[in-house]
Amino acid sequence: MYEEFFRMQHTPFARDIPVADLYNSEILNDIVGRLTYAADRQLFAVVTSDAGCGKSTLIRRFVASLPKDQYITLYLSDSKLTPRWLYKGLLDQLGIESRFYRGDAKRQFQKEVELIRLIQHKKAVIILDEAHLLDKETLEEFRFLLNYQFDSTSPTALVLVGQNELWDDKLRLRRYAAICQRIDMRCTIPHLDRAETERYIRAHMSYAGCDSDVFTDKAIDEVYRVSTGIARIINRVCEKSLMYAFQCLL
């Protein structure tokens, strides 16, 4: 449709843009660098943002930045995740059938992580997405998961990713103090400002192979006003704008 009309080689605001072509803001670059440090040192990190601000994009960039010969990445995204299914999901990704009882599965997972470290000479990185939806029992399990060799070392790096309520409505509460004290790093993805919104749009249009300035300064002002700098909304507004422009110019 509009791609051919505007002589584009790719769809500019699609969800499946290759990692190498994603817009690189200074803030996201900084957070990826911090998470890479957390992966190397096997730390506990928490990443939060408002919905649509780029958590999934950040995860994709972070995972792509980790050398495959040095790291094994385990990713889970399940709002109903229980401690038992946590270990089952992690073991499934390692190609291992989980034992039924949680304690057995936990020891099984810890053993596999130890083999990864000693035999494969790799570091494990666990990423749990949509963590703001997890209940207290599952969040508490992370404390026991990270408690290793009398709390002297961590068997894995752990990255919790969720909306801002993960921190504002959960982890800051007194009943989560034991978890909060173990957090080594906290990162927040902000909304894009007006200048970054323009760079974001132009980067996506450049990826599409569109050389002409389809979006004027006034159009970008309006996109920023409507989206308030939320990347997901920027994508939708820009996509609809291109579609309507194509229909009107036919």
Tokens 């670059």 belong to residue: 29
Q: Determine the pLDDT at residue 170.
A: 84
pLDDT-wise least confident of 64-68, 143-147, 176-180: 143-147
Domains of the chain, start order: 2-19+192-249 (no CATH), 26-189 (3.40.50.300)
The identity of residue 75, as a single letter, is Y
- pLDDT tens digits along 123-168: 999 999 999 998 888 888 887 777 765 455 678 999 999 999 988 8
* Placement of tokens 């982890």 in the chain: 171
Q: Which helix (H) or strand (E) segment is 160 a member of?
A: strand 157-163
Task: Report how far residue 115's alpha carbon sits from residue 112's, in angstroms, rounded to the nearest whole number.
Answer: 5
* pLDDT at residue number 64: 95
Confidence of residue 230 (pLDDT cuts 50, 70, 90): very high
Q: How high is the pLDDT of residue 148?
A: 62
Asked if residue 201 lies in contact with residue 234, where contact means CB atoms within 8 angstroms, the answer is yes
Residue pair 87/96 in contact by the 8 Å Cβ criterion: no
Output the pLDDT for position 5.
Answer: 85
Per-residue pLDDT band at 102 (split at 50, 70, 90): confident
pLDDT at 149: 58
52-66: average pLDDT: 94
Amino acid 141: pLDDT: 85
Looking at the chain, the whole-number percentage of residues with pLDDT higher than 70 is 96
Q: For the sheet containing 123-129, what is the strand order?
A: 71-77, 123-129, 157-163, 44-49, 185-189
Q: CB within 8 A of 175, min separation 6: which ones?
A: 136
pTM of the model: 0.89
Contact by Cβ (8 Å): 202, 192: no
Q: How far apart are the C-alpha atoms of 93 and 126, rounded to whole Å?
A: 11
Q: How many CB atoms lie within 10 A of CB 66?
A: 18
User: Contact 49/201 with Cβ under 8 angstroms?
Assistant: no
Note the pLDDT of residue 178: 84
Phi and psi at residue 52, to the nearest 5°: 85, 5
- What's the pLDDT at 100? 86
